[in-house]
Structures are given as structure tokens and as C-alpha cells.
Amino acid sequence: MRERVLKAVSGLGYEPHVIAQSLRSGRTNTLGFLIGDISNPVFADVIRGAEDYARDRGFAVMLTNSEGEARLDAEHLRLFLRRKVDGILLSTSEVGSAEIAKALSKPAVPYVVLDRDIPDGSTVSTVCGDHAIGMREATAHLLSRGHRRIALISGSPALRPARARAEGFRAAFKSAGLKLADDLIRTGSLAPDFGKQEVTSLLASANPPSAIIAGGNRLLGGVLEAVHQAGRLVGRDLALISCDDVDLTRLYLPPISVVIRDMYEMGRTACELLLDRIVHPDSPPRTVTLPTRLLVRASSNFSWPPAGQR
């Protein structure tokens, strides 16, 4: 009888009615994934990691993009809840907004937050990168090559990764017993225009940096534009390190050193934490911290000052 039924199913092209199944089981086998900026290439690997893990376990992923707007974050969260998703992955730039904070303080479904702070007392799980370690390694690398005027261009300290990168940057100077000039840390935004503005200002100053760290891959385009307009050559006149390995860092000449993290693993781990909370709703929230490390390339792998300037 089973063989006859399966043969009929195949011949008719029958597909189960998912909504009817969800009424019986109480689950839709669907996850919501809210991305703050889908144009950022590193998120492709995050999404792929989460979707691969979910698909292998019979779950589908519904993806939305908020473009960094708190209004859209809140709207998409409400959409997910109306669609009765079983859990939500959250990777957004505005975790501190009132709507997001409220959702995370009293979650209606399990949440996992990627690389952002969560409200005090929240019961959601998180997966984060250890940004301080990678940034400390990057800064120590530049110091070991003789650089002392090293600038960090990064996002707002309200964002956990930007804050951790600044901590690692300062820690490297402290460990080396060196004083860090306050004007060398420029934080505020991850937008390319901010990178261009700050590097233009630094390179025009009376005491410009000999090395720059871009604390985000979106900043890198603006940083490079400012370097070019100042008539400097990366790898000769200026050392450069960026964060996250994207096409530009690999294909630029010379190739650019990067602080890397496994974004696929971040997405996979986040989905694993989420499904664990869905299957075991009484299990405690968990926080997983993934490593970062420096990948040295020609843009920073030279001694300073150059032989002709010693």
C-alpha cells in the first residue's frame, strides 16, 4: 500500500500543504533572517551558512533586508511574527532601537543575534566574532614593522565590533609600551564616504600616519580613494590593513592584508543555536564567540621607514 501511495504521489506531482501541516504540528519549519545591509558582500557567506544548516534539517529561511533603517527592522520583525516563523536570526545595525530592544527583552519566538549587543536580562542567544584579538594582532604586526603613527578608521562605538576593534587596537600599543596619539582613532561610520573623509584629513595633517587600518570592508573603498588622491602608494608609502576578505582585498595590487573571520561558520553556528532553542525551548541561552586572525599580505609586510628614508 505504501508503494502504491508513493507512486500516486509521484504521478500526480502532489506536494504537502505546509499551512495545514503547521496547524497540526504548531510549527511552520520556517526561520526569519533579518539582515541590516544585504549589499555587504560578507553577508552572502553568513546567509549561505545559515541556509545550508537549516535546509539539511528541513527548515526554510525567509530573508529580509532593512538597509540599516530602524523602521524597517521593526516592520520586518512584525512580518516574521505574522508569518508564524519558528525563530528569528537577527543581524542588524540598530539592535539598540526601541522596537528591537523590546522584541529581544520579551521574545515571542526564539532569537539569535549576530555580532551585536543585546539588552540586559535578555534571554536570546548570540554568536559573535572576537574582533579585539584580530585587531590586536594586526596592530602588533604593524608595530613590529616599525610603524608608530598607525590610524584606525572604524564604525560607531555603539556597534560591538567597532568597539572591540578599538579596544584591541589600544591594547596592542599598551602591550608594546607605546603611547597612542588620540587623533589616530577615527570612529563614526562604516560608510565609504567616512573612510575617505577621515583618511584625507589624516594624510593632509602635519604628522600623517604611515599605516592605516580600515575597520570594515565597506570603509576600504573610501580609504583607497583618499590614498590615491593624496598621491600615496599602498605597500610603499603607506601600509594598509582591512577587515574581512572580499574581492577587492585579494585583487588589489598589492594584495591587502586583512583581519579575517569565518562568516559561513557564523551563519551556520547562529542557525544551530536557533534550532536548538526551537527544539528545546527550555534550554538556557548560549553565547558563542568565533575567532578572528590576521592574514598578512604585501600591503603591510614591509619595514618602516623604507631603506631610503632611514
Cell numbers for 68: 540599516
**Of 114 and 105, more confident:** 114
DSSP letters spanning 130-197: -HHHHHHHHHHHHHHTT---EEEEE--TTSHHHHHHHHHHHHHHHHTT-PPPGGGEEES--SHHHHHH
> How many other CB atoms are there within 10 angstroms of residue 36's CB atom?
22
**Domain limits at 201?**
131-261+295-309
Is residue 239 located within the same domain as residue 272? Answer: no
Tell me what pLDDT residue 15 has.
58
Is residue 101 located within the same domain as residue 193? Answer: no
User: Which helix (DSSP H) or strand (DSSP E) does residue 123 occupy?
Assistant: none
Which pTM value belongs to this model?
0.88
CA angle 258, 260, 264 (to 5 degrees): 145
Q: What integer best gives the mean pLDDT of the chain?
A: 91
Cα(35)–Cα(44) distance, rounded to whole angstroms?
10
For residue 40, is pLDDT > 70?
yes
Cα(189)–Cα(194) distance, rounded to whole angstroms?
6
Is residue 277 located within the same domain as residue 257? Answer: no
Report pLDDT digits (tens) over 186-196.
999 999 999 99
Is residue 90 located within the same domain as residue 162? Answer: no
Is residue 143 located within the same domain as residue 239? Answer: yes
Residues 267 and 46: beta-carbon distance below 8 Å: yes
Report pLDDT digits (tens) over 12-24.
666 554 454 444 4
Is residue 70 located within the same domain as residue 119? Answer: yes
